Structure 1
Amino acid sequence: MKRLPALLTAALLCACTQTPSGPVTAQTVALGTALSAPASQSFGGSWSIEDVPAWLSVSPPSGKGDVSVKVTADRSRGTPVGADQPRLSGQVTVVWKNGSASGRTVWTVTADQYAVTGQVVDGDSVQAGDVEPRGLLRTGGTREARGVIVRYRSAAAQAVALGRAVPVATLGGAAQAVTRDTLSRLDVPGGARRDLGGRAVLLETADVTGALRALRADPNVEYAVPNAVLHPQGLAQPVVPSDEYAGLQWAYKVLGYGAVWRDMEAGGYTRPVTVAVIDTGVRFDHPDLQGALYGPGEGALDVLTSSTNGDGNGPDTDPTDPDTPGRTAGSHGTHVTGIIAARWGKISQYAGCGSCSTSGVVGAVYRAPVRVLPIRVIDTADNATTADVVNAVRYAAGLTVTLGGKTYTNPHPAAVINLSLGGDVSAEEARPLCSAVAEVTGRGALVVAAAGNAYGTEPFYPAACEGAVAVASVTLSGAGAPVHAEYSNRYPQVMLSAPGGVDLSRGATYYNGGNLNGQRYPDVILSTDWDYVKDQPTYYSYAGTSQATPQVSALAALLLSKGVTKGRDDTLARMTATATDLGEAGRDEAFGYGLIDPAAALGNLAVSDALGLRVQGSRGSAYLPALDALGRFTAYLPDGTFNVIGGRDRDGDGIYGGANDPRDERQVTVGPAEPQVAVGALSPGP
C-alpha cells in the first residue's frame, strides 16, 4: 500500500518526458521520383500546414501531437514550358503551438522530374556521295544534275579534255591517253565540253553516275561533281497586316493566317459565302465593319419578341445592338462579327470621335467575298430564349418564319451559321434546338456553336446537338502549341478547337508578346466593339468559346469561297482531317479532333521552314524543350503520356509538326516506374 503513490508518480514522470516540448524544426522532404511520400516529426502541440505551392498537396492539413503528413506532387502544375528543370523545389510552412511557445517553420519539398532524351535530325541535310542513277541528285528533294563538272590537276590536262593540242612535254603522252580514253568511254563529243575556267570543264552527259565513277578514277582529275540544277530557295513571305491593333490579334498567327492571306492575294477566293451571326445584333455604324455586312433590307433580322428587346420595335429587319439608357457593356455580336470580317486598312473616321482608330483590327476573311448576316436573338439583359434561337437558325438557312404576324424569308441563305451562345439545359429541353439544327443541316448549312465556358463537363446546347460543330477554346502556353483553356467545357460532342484566350479573372498570361500603351497585352481576343457610355466605336478583348467559334466559322467560309470544299459535309470533313491533334491521340473531349489549321485546310504555300521540338501531353499540356547545336534535347517532364514531336513549321504558326508540317514523333510514358526514356533520333524530313 505504501508503494502505490510512488508508482503513480513514476508513471506521471515517464509520460511527461515522452512529450516533446520543443518547436517544429526545419527539414527537407525529398520525394525523389515518387508521386508522394510521408513526412513526420515528433511534437507535442498543435500544428497546421500553410503556404502550400500549387504543385503540392499536404494531407492532413492540421493536427495535434506528432506532425505526420503525406506530401503529394502534381508535377504537371510545376513544370515550366521549357521543361528544363530536372528537379522541382518548393516550401510549405508548418504553423505550430506548444504550450506558451509558437512559431512558423519552413519545410522544403523536392521532387525529381522524369527525363526524356533524344535528337531532332534535319532530314533535308545533304549527304556526300548522295548520287543516284539517271542523273538525279537527291538532297532532301530531287534535283536534276545536267552533266558533270570536272576540275583537272593542271591546265594541260584541262586542255586535253577540251580537245586542244598539248605538247607531250607539258603532259606526258601516257597521261594524255588516260584522259582521252576516259572521255571516249563516256561518249562525250567535243561539242559537249565547255571551258569553265580555273582548270574546270563541264561535260554534258546523261549518265552522271557512270561519268563520276570513271572521272574519279582518272589521276589527272582533282574532283568531279554533278552539275546540279539549283532552284530558288526563298519562301513566300507571310502577309502581316498593318492595321493599328493587328499586332495584338495573336490568334491569327497561331492559326497560320500569314500563309492563308498570302495565298488569298494570289486570287482563287471567288465564290461568295454568307455567314449568319446569331447573336446580340451588331453595330452597323462601326467603321471597321463597313462593307462586311448584310444590312436592314438585305436580310438582316431582329427576331426578338421579349419585353427586354431594348429597341422597343419588336421583330423587324434592323438587328442593331441598341444603345439603351444606362447600358455600359459592349456589343457581343459586334465583337464576334469582327473576328470573321473586320475590314483591312484605313477606315473612315467616326463622326465626333477624333481619338478613334483609323485602321483598327483585321478579320480572318481578308479579301474573300464573305459577308456576315446579323440576326439578333440576345436581348439587352444578355438572354436568348430557345424559341427565338430556333426561329433565327431556321431563318438563317433560308426557311420561312413568322414573327409578330409577319412572314420573313432570308434572301441570302447562310452556308455557315455561327452561334456564340448556349446553355446547360437538359437534352430534353434542348430538343427544339436540336430539331432546328437537324433541319438546317439537312439543307446543307454548317452550324458552328460555342461549347460553353462553365469549367465543367456538362454538354452545352445547341453545341451538343447532333449535326452541330461544338467548338472548344485554347489559349497560349508559351510551349510551341496552345493548351486547353480551363474554362472551356469538356464533353464527347466537342469537335474542334480554336483560340479563345485566357480567363483574366483567374490570372493573366502574356505569351503573345504584344504591348499596348507600354503595358504587356494579355492572351485575350481583341476585336471590334462598341462603347455605350461614349456612344462610339471601340475595340475590346474578351475570352471564351464565343471567341473561338467565329474562327471556325471563318475557316469554313474560306474553304467554300476558294472551292476547296463544296458543301457542309466535305467542309466539316476537311477541317477535322487537317486539325492539329492536341491532348490525347485522336478525338478527345477537351480538343475534339484538334486545333483548326487554316493553312493546312486551304493548302497554302509555306512561309517558313523552322525545325524544332514539341512535347504534347495527353492531358492537354504542352512543352517546348530547347535543342542544342546538334539537335539534342533532354526534356524534364511530369508523370504521364506524351507525344514527343520533331517537326518543321512551314506555315509560320509557331507549332512544330502541325497538320501542315512534316513531323516525326514517338509516344512515351514516364513516371516512377519509368523515370527515364530515350526516344532516339526524330527526323521530320523535308
Structure 2
Amino acid sequence: MRLYILVFLLLLVGCSNQGVLAPAHTLPEEVVLEGLEGSLALRVGSNVAWRVESYNTWLSTTPATGIGPKVIQLKAKFLGELQNQPEYTGSLRITGDVEAEVLVRLPLVRVTGGVEDSSPAAASVSSSSLPSQLQRTSSTPTPSATGDEILVKYRTDLRAAALPEGSRVLSHDRISRLTKLQSPNPQALLERLRLDPSVEWAEINGTVTAQGEPTDQFYPQQWYLRATGARFAYQQTYTTPITVAVVDTGVRYDHPDLAGRLWQPGEGAYDFVGDALPPEEPNKPYDPCGQPAPDGPGDNDPTDPCDLSAKDKGSHGTHVTGIIVANAGTFVPACPTCTDSGMVGQAHNAPIKVLPLRVLDSSGNGTFEDVALAVRYAAGIPVEKSGQLLQNPRPAQIINLSLGSVAYSNVMCEAVADAVARGVLVVAAAGNFQSSSPGAKVYPAACPGAISVAATDQYNQVAYYSQQNSEVDIAAPGGNTAISGGGILSTTWNYTTNLPNYTFYMGTSQATPQVAAALAMALSSGRASTATEAWNLIRSSATDLGAPGRDDAYGYGLLNLPGAFGWTLPRGEFLVSLSGPIARRVPVVNGRFETFLVPGRYTMVACRDDSGNSLCDSGEPKMERQVQVNGGNTLDLGTIQVGP
C-alpha cells in the first residue's frame, strides 16, 4: 500500500493536466546578466508547458515557449545608447502551467579616468582665450568707421591743391601723399574729388573686420554647419569661380538670399519641363501648377512656378540651392516683417554659383529622360530636346541630383558616365526609402561614377530614412523634422503670399548639396585641381562612423571640412568615445570623465573636439587604445594624454 501511494505522488509531480507544478522555489527570483547575455534555468516537470514574456524591449529570450525543463538564453540589445546609470533592470513573466516573475539585472561597471593635453602649447592656450578672429563676427564689412572720412591721394603737393569747400584736413602723409579729409557730406565730397584732375584717387575711409562666423538671423539654427565643421569656412580663401548645377524643381530667382548666386535665364539656366499649358477655356485663369505641354522643348527660365505639396513653404530646388550658396549679410527685406539676413549657404564666401536646371514638375516628379538630358547639358555636352539643340554656355564642375528612383535606369546611368568622363563630379541622394525598401539601390545615386550621399541626424546617427547599401559613399546631415529644430533649414517660397521664407526639410536631398558644396569649395580654393583630387580630399578626411572603414550606412564617414582643408580651429573640449558591446560618447568635465559600461572589450578614442560636433574628427588631436572592462564595481583608466 505504501508503494502505491509513493508512485501516485510521483505521477502528480510530472502531471500538467491536473495543474500540479514543480515547487515554486525551483525558479530563480532573479538573474544577473554577464555582459549582454545570460541564462534562466527553468526546472519544471517534463510535461509542464510554459511561456516567457519580457516586459522590456531591450531584453529578449530564446526560446520563448516550451514544455518541460529548459535553460533559456537571455540577451540584451539596445537600439540607442544606454542610459548612464549603474544598473539596468527588467522583468520576465512566466505563464502557462507555471506562473512566476523573474527580475533580470544588468549591472554596469563604473569607468573613470582623466584627460590631459600633451601638446606643447596646451598650458598657455585655452578655449576661453580665443583670438578675436575666431569669435563670431559679421562677414559683411561696415562702410566706414566714422562715416565722414575720405582718403585722398593727390598727384601734387597738398599745398598746391584746392580743397573742396566744407572739407577739413584731419591728417596728411607727405611720403605717400595721402590726405585724410572730413566732411558732413562725405559722398558728395567723394564725387567732387573724383572729378578733380589733381586727385589720383579718393575713397571712403572704410573699415575691415576680423573674419568670423556669419551673424545672419537664422544662422544659429543651422546646426548642420557645426556638425560638418563648415562653420569655419571663413578661414579659407577661395579664388576660382565654380558652377554647381542643381538638377531639381527649378529655383526662385526672386529670393533675396540668393541674389547674385544664380546663373540667369540666357546664361545657361534651363527648364526641361516647360510651362503649364494655357487653360482650355479663355475665361479661366492661368494655372502655373498645371500640366506642361507633352514632349515640349522647354525654355530657358527654370523659375519654380509652384509647389503642390507645400504651397506655404515650397520649392525643393530653392531649398537645395540655399544650402549651397545662400548669401551672408543683410539685404532689403521682402516685407515689413520679413527677415533682412536669413541664413547662410555652406559656400557663402566662395565665388560659387548655382546653375538651375528644372526637371521636376510642381508635384516633384520628373522623367528619366529629362534627368539624363539635364546631366549631359550641365556637363557641357550638346543635347537635343524635342528637335531643339541645346548647348550649355556655363558647363558645371559639379552636378547636384537631390532626386532618385528605386528603378534602374540605363539612360540616367549612361548620362552620369558621360558627365564623369568629362571630369564632372556627379553627387546624388542615396534615397529616403530605407524604412519601406531596406537596402534598395536608388538611381542615379547607385549609377557607376556617382557619389552617393546618405543622411545623418542631429546626433550624428544615420537617419532612419537614409538608404543603406553598398553604393553609399559618404554621409552628411539630412536631419529629422520630427525633432524640434532637427531639420535642415534653408531658403523656400510661400506661394500663398508670394513671399520668400525659410523652412526645415529633411532627407538625403538636403545632405547631398552639402557634399556638392564641399567639392566646389575644394576646387575654388585650389586645394584640388581636378574632380578626382577633390573627391579624394573630401572622402579621405571624412569622420569614420559606424563599423570601422567604409560601411553601408555612412559610406566612408561624415563630411568633415576642417579635416579636408586643414583649418586651424580654436581648442575645444575633450571628448571620450567607446565602442564595443555598447557605444558611448562621454563628455570630459574639468579633465575628468565617468561613465558606466557593460563588461566586454572596447575601443576607446579620446580627442580634443575642436570642431565642437561631439565627434572625434580626422585632423583633431586624439588617442586610441583597447580597453577590457571586466565585472566589478569600478575601473580607473588613469590619465589619458591627447596630443597633436
Q: Could you tell me which residue of structure 2 aligns to residue 161 of structure 1? A: none
CA distance in 1, matches of 2:262, 2:583: 38
Percent of pairs with identical residues: 37
Check the 8 A contact 1:302/1:318 in 2, yes or no.
yes
1:625 to 586, 599, 608: 586
Shift of 1:74: 1.0
Aligned: 1:405 with 2:363: no
Amino acid at match of 1:625: V
Conservation of the 8 A alpha-carbon contact between 1:666 and 1:679: no
2:342 corresponds to which residue?
360
Q: CA 1:272–1:17 in structure 2 vs 1: closer, same or farther (change >3 Å)?
A: closer
Letter in structure 1 aligned against 2:34: G
Match of 2:134 in 1: 237
| Contact 1:32/1:110, CA 8 A, preserved across alignment | no
In structure 2, what is the Cα distance between the partners aligned to 1:551 and 1:684?
A: 30
Instruction: State the match for 1:189 in structure 2.
Output: none
Provide the rounded CA distance (Å) in 1 between the counterparts of 2:132 and 2:597. 35
Q: 1:641 to 1:423 in 2, by over 3 A?
A: farther
Instruction: Tell me, yes or no, if the aligned pair for 2:248 and 2:358 is still in contact at 8 Å.
Output: yes
Q: 1:440-490, CA deviations, whole angstroms, 9 ceiling, x for partnerless residues?
A: 11212111111122222232222122221111112233xxxx222232222
Give the superposition deviation at 1:367.
2.1
Partner SS, residue 484 of structure 1? coil
Q: Deviations over 1:558-612 (max 9, x none)?
A: 1122211112111111111222222233322222222121122223232x21241
Superposed, which structure 2 residues align to 1:21-420 within 5 Å?
Answer: 27-38=29-40, 40=42, 49=53, 51-53=55-57, 55-59=58-62, 70-75=73-78, 77-80=80-83, 84-91=84-91, 94=93, 107-113=102-108, 118-124=113-119, 234=131, 236-238=133-135, 239-261=212-234, 263-264=235-236, 268-304=237-273, 310=290, 312=292, 314=296, 315-323=298-306, 328=311, 330-350=314-334, 353-420=335-402
Higher mean C-alpha deviation, range 236-245 or range 381-390: 236-245
Distance 2:543 2:75 in 1: 33
Measure, in 1, the Cα distance between the counterparts of 2:514 and 2:392.
24
- CA change 1:591–1:58 in 2 (3 A) is same
Asked if the contact 1:475/1:502 (under 8 Å) is kept, the reply is yes
Query: Aligned equivalents of 2:25 and 2:301: distance in 1?
Result: 74
SS of the residue aligned with 1:559?
Answer: helix
Deviation at 1:77, TM superposition (A): 3.5
Q: Which residue is equivalent to 1:660?
A: 619
TM-score (norm 2): 0.73
- Contact 2:270-2:358 within 8 A present in 1 as well: yes
Q: Which residue does 1:683 correspond to in 2?
A: 641
- The answer (yes or no) to whether the contact 2:81–2:584 under 8 Å persists in 1 is no
Q: TM-score, normalised by structure 1?
A: 0.69
Q: Which of 475, 493, 498 is the matching residue for 1:497?
A: 475
* Aligned mates of 1:655, 1:325 — CA distance in 2: 38
What is the CA-CA distance between 1:32 and the residue it aligns to?
A: 3.2
- Counterpart of 2:105, as a letter, is T
Partner of residue 597, structure 1: 560
Cα distance in 2 for residues equivalent to 1:639 and 1:434: 48
State the 1:661 CA deviation. 1.4
Q: Provide, for residues 660-686 of structure 1, a one-character-per-residue CA deviation record: whole Å limited to 9, x for no partner.
A: 3121112457689x9998766532225
CA RMSD of aligned residues (A): 4.0
2:499 to 536, 547, 553: 536
Gaps of 5+ in 1: 126-138, 143-231, 509-520
* Contact map agreement 2:36 2:598 (CA 8 A) in 1: no
Instruction: Work out the CA distance in 2 between the residues paired with 1:24 and 1:283.
Output: 74
Distance change in 2, residues 1:376/1:33 (3 Å): same
Alignment partner, residue 531 of structure 2:
568
Q: Deviations over 1:251-305 (max 9, x none)?
A: 00122233222x15xxx31221111111111122222222221122221111137
Question: What SS does the aligned partner of 1:483 have?
Answer: coil
**Aligned counterparts of 1:246 and 1:592: Cα–Cα separation in 2:** 28
Could you tell me whether the CA contact under 8 Å between 1:613 and 1:647 is conserved in 2?
yes
Aligned residue for 1:599, secondary structure, equals: helix
CA distance in 1, matches of 2:599, 2:496: 51
Cα pair 1:649 1:658 within 8 Å, conserved: yes
Matched, 1:557 2:536: no
Distance 2:544 2:429 in 1: 19
User: Structure 1: which amino acid aligns with 2:39?
Assistant: A
What CA distance in whole angstroms lies between the structure 1 residues aligned with 2:25 and 2:338? 64
CA contact (8 A) 2:31 2:102 kept: yes
CA distance in 1 between partners of 2:110 and 2:451 (Å)? 38
Give yes or no for contact 1:585–1:618 (8 Å, CA) kept in 2: no
Contact 1:583 1:618 in 2 (8 A): no
For the 8 Å contact 1:584–1:618, the answer to whether it is kept is: no
SS at match of 2:257: helix
Tell me how far 1:543 sits from its aligned partner: 1.8
CA distance 1:638–1:251, change in 2 (3 Å): farther
> For the residues of structure 2 that align with 1:444 and 1:547, how far apart are their CA atoms?
24
Stretches of structure 2 that go unaligned for 5 or more consecutive residues are: 136-211, 278-288
Q: In 2, distance between residues paired with 1:472 and 1:326?
A: 24
d(CA) in 1 for partners of 2:629 and 2:369? Answer: 51
Q: Residue in 2 aligned with 1:476?
A: 458
Determine helix, strand or coil for the equivalent of 1:527.
strand
Letter in 2 for 1:36: G
Distance 2:66 2:391 in 1: 71
Residue number in structure 1 paired with 2:148: none
Residue identity in the other structure for 1:123? S
- Tell me the SS of whatever aligns to 1:683: strand
Matches within 5 A, 1:417-496: 417-425=399-407, 429-455=408-434, 456-477=438-459, 482-496=460-474
Q: Secondary structure of the residue that 1:546 maps to in structure 2?
A: helix
Distance apart, 1:618 and its partner CA: 7.3
Q: Conserved in 2, the CA contact under 8 Å of 1:275 and 1:415? A: yes
Deviation string 1:366-395 (CA, Å, 9 cap, x unpaired) is 221111111111223322322111111101
Give 1:72 shift.
Answer: 1.6
| CA pair 677-497 structure 1, distance change in 2 beyond 3 A | farther
- CA–CA separation in structure 2 for the residues paired with 1:598 and 1:312: 41
Question: Equivalents in 2 of 1:325, 1:632: separation in Å?
Answer: 54
